[in-house]
């Protein structure tokens, strides 16, 4: 099946007809349907499917155990709440289309080529981004992973069990890591770098340091209509301080930060909240600046933040990036503030590169996320050239 055929099949899966956004969360029925789709596409190309200890799917053209570490392409299929169609799936579909193109051309790779579908990259359900790659590299402890809870209180272990997976298998996966000689992830750009440069494809240089912090803001429940203002202990005021501090501090440090998720208790319109839990996302070109943002938010909101995840600055293999940029006609080389499984593998010592496909508006994690059809095909062409170069 061509790129267009695969893309058309994926478009309706997990899409909300009201918002046009996607809710493709890990270890749900929708996730099951996506995994089945991936398995079917792998089978149709004669690829051998394996599943690692975290549930990531790997489709192999060739045997990485017998023929040595392979070249792996791919990304993820899950989404943020009401996310766009391109973040993740574009990388998986282009990887499968690349294998198909090489097979049609009669190309004989000198090393195995794999396509991966990483599970739970966005962390939308259990709160840890890149969970699938973090688990197999040992960055995320298996016991902690099993105990992660979603908004309904279900643990990751319970969700995996319901989905037919054994959570006891979670842990660093040496066998899987030995199979990956080089990893290249294609992704829609989550910014306007390529649009401003009028180029369709870029090569990634580095991922900014980034993290997520939980802010627990205590208050006192009371009646919204009878409690005097001076007698109120309203945690929403601390939340407001945190939100404005995030914007001000980020601007001052040359970073970006936002409070994008909030839980209010008891969440009644006529009740002063007893407690607010908020999550801060902060990123920037340097760790010092990001940490300074978090410190200022904590000071102004009067809270001690709990660090739930942190990823330091992650450079991709500079020689590999230069090689691919030259191969693709002196493609631009751009940094990104978005985290990716590619960054986790790079930190684990895997030679890694990223390709970005132009996003004309720069909007991502939204139904407005977009890439032109011609640019998607340019991405397939670029990834095919890269695979041919690295597997010859």
The Cα 327–Cα 340 span in angstroms is 23
- C-alpha of 269 from chain center: 34
**Both tokens assigned to 194:** 């390529």
Residue 5: its pLDDT value, please?
97
What b/e readout covers 87-113, taking b as 16+ CB neighbours within 10 angstroms? bbbbbbbbbbbbbbbbbeeebebebbb
Please, which residues have CB within 8 angstroms of residue 323's CB and are 6 or more apart in sequence?
Answer: 389
Start-to-end CA distance of the chain, whole Å, equals 24
3-state secondary structure of 250: helix
pLDDT at 182: 98
Tens of pLDDT along the chain (392 residues)? 799 999 999 999 999 999 999 999 999 999 999 999 999 999 999 999 999 999 999 999 999 999 999 999 999 999 999 999 999 999 999 999 999 999 999 999 999 999 999 999 999 999 899 999 999 999 999 999 999 999 999 999 999 999 999 999 999 999 999 999 999 999 999 999 999 999 999 999 999 999 999 999 999 999 999 999 999 999 999 999 999 999 999 999 999 999 999 999 999 999 999 999 999 999 999 999 999 999 999 999 999 999 988 888 999 999 999 999 999 999 999 999 999 999 999 999 999 999 999 999 999 999 999 999 999 999 999 999 999 999 99
The Cα–Cα gap between 262 and 276 comes to 7
Integer angstrom CA distances of residue 306 from 53, 176, 264: 28, 32, 17
Residue pointed to by tokens 């001076």: 230
Contact between residue 75 and residue 341 where contact means Cβ atoms under 8 Å apart: yes
| pLDDT, position 111 | 98
- Token pair in block for residue 118: 């990483």
**In the beta sheet, which residues pair with residue 117?**
57, 75
SS3 annotation, 75-130: EECCCCCCECCCCCHHHHHHHHHHHHHHHHCCCCCCCCEEEEEECCCCCCCCCCCC
- What span, in angstroms and rounded, lies between the C-alpha atoms of 346 and 72? 13
What is the pLDDT at residue 310? 87
DSSP letters spanning 328-353: TTS--EEEESS--HHHHHHHTT--EE
What phi, psi does 104 have (nearest 5°)?
-65, -35
- For residue 167, what is the DSSP state? G
The span from the CA of 373 to the CA of 146, in Å, is 40
- Phi, psi torsion values for 62, nearest 5 degrees: 105, 170
* Contact assessment for residue 48 and residue 103, using Cβ atoms and an 8 Å cutoff: no
d(CA 189, CA 313): 18
Q: What is the pLDDT of residue 206?
A: 96
Position 142 scores a pLDDT of: 98
């Amino acid at each position: 099946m061509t790129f267009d055929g695969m893309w058309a099949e994926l478009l309706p899966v997990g899409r909300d007809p009201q918002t046009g956004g996607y809710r493709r969360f890990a270890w749900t029925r929708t996730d099951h349907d996506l995994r089945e789709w991936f398995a079917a596409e792998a089978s149709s190309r004669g690829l051998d499917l394996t599943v690692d200890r975290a549930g990531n799917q790997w489709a192999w053209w060739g045997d990485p155990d017998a023929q040595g570490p392979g070249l792996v392409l791919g990304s993820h299929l899950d989404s943020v709440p009401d996310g766009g169609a391109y973040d993740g799936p574009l990388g998986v579909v282009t990887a499968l289309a690349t294998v198909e193109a090489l097979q049609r051309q009669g190309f004989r790779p000198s090393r195995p080529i794999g396509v991966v579908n990483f599970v739970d990259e966005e962390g939308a359900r259990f709160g840890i981004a890149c969970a699938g790659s973090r688990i197999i590299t040992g960055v995320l402890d298996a016991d902690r992973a099993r105990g992660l809870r979603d908004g309904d209180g279900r643990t990751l272990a319970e969700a995996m069990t319901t989905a037919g997976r054994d959570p006891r298998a979670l842990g660093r996966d040496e066998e899987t890591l030995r199979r990956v000689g080089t990893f290249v992830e294609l992704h829609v750009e989550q910014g306007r770098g390529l649009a401003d440069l009028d180029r369709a494809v870029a090569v990634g240089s580095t991922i900014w340091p980034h993290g997520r912090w939980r802010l627990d803001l205590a208050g006192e429940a009371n009646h919204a209509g009878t409690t005097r203002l001076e007698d109120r202990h309203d945690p929403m005021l601390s939340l407001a301080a945190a939100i404005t501090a995030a914007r001000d501090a980020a601007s001052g440090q040359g970073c970006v930060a936002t409070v994008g998720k909030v839980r209010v208790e008891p969440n009644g319109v006529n009740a002063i909240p007893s407690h607010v839990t908020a999550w801060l996302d902060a990123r920037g070109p340097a760790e010092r600046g990001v940490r300074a943002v978090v410190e200022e938010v904590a000071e102004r909101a009067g809270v001690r933040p709990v660090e739930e995840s942190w990823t330091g600055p992650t450079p991709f293999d500079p020689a590999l990036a230069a090689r691919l940029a030259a191969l693709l006609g002196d493609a631009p080389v751009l940094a990104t503030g978005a985290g990716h499984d590619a960054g986790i593998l790079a930190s684990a010592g895997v030679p890694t590169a990223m390709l970005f496909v132009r996003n004309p508006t720069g909007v991502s994690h939204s139904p407005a996320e977009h890439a032109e059809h011609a640019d998607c095909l340019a991405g397939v062409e670029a990834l095919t050239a890269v695979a041919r170069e690295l597997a010859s």
